[in-house]
């Protein structure tokens, strides 16, 4: 939802005479295609959603299996998911 919120913020900023990127720089976090269609196009961070989903499912299966065996699951606190920063006009230096 971050890119969607950034698109809404861009609209509000524009309506109030605040120029992106001249007065403020704007960035989202989702990598949705619509962020590239905004005027100006919004910079974003695109994450590997299928990899994130696999990681979550694998973790859930491990927890369920540990529970069925009455074992304590490993303490997994975080994982690393690939991402790509996609700089666009909304964050260009003035």
Question: How does pLDDT run across 43-80, given as a tens digit for each residue?
Answer: 999 998 899 999 999 988 988 998 888 888 777 677 88
Residue 80's pLDDT is what?
Answer: 85
Would you state the pLDDT for residue 75?
72
**What is the count of structural domains for the chain?**
1
Q: In which domain, by residue range, is 61 found? A: 3-91
Which pTM was predicted? 0.74
Share of the chain above pLDDT 70, in %: 98
Q: Quick check: 27 and 44 in contact, CB under 8 A? A: yes
Phi–psi pair at 85, nearest 5 degrees: -80, 130
List the one residue out of 83, 61, 81 whose CA is nearest residue 73.
61
Q: Are 61 and 67 in contact (CB under 8 A)?
A: no
Q: How far apart are CA 28 and CA 10, in angstroms?
A: 11
């Amino acid at each position: 939802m971050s890119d969607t919120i950034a698109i809404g913020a861009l609209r509000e900023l524009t309506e109030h005479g605040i120029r992106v990127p001249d007065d403020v720089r704007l960035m989202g976090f989702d990598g949705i295609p619509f962020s590239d269609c905004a005027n100006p196009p919004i910079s974003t961070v695109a994450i590997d959603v299928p990899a994130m989903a696999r990681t979550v499912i694998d973790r859930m299966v491990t927890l369920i299996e540990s529970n069925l065996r009455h074992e304590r699951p490993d303490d997994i606190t975080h994982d690393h998911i690939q991402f790509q920063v996609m700089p666009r006009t909304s964050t260009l230096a003035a």
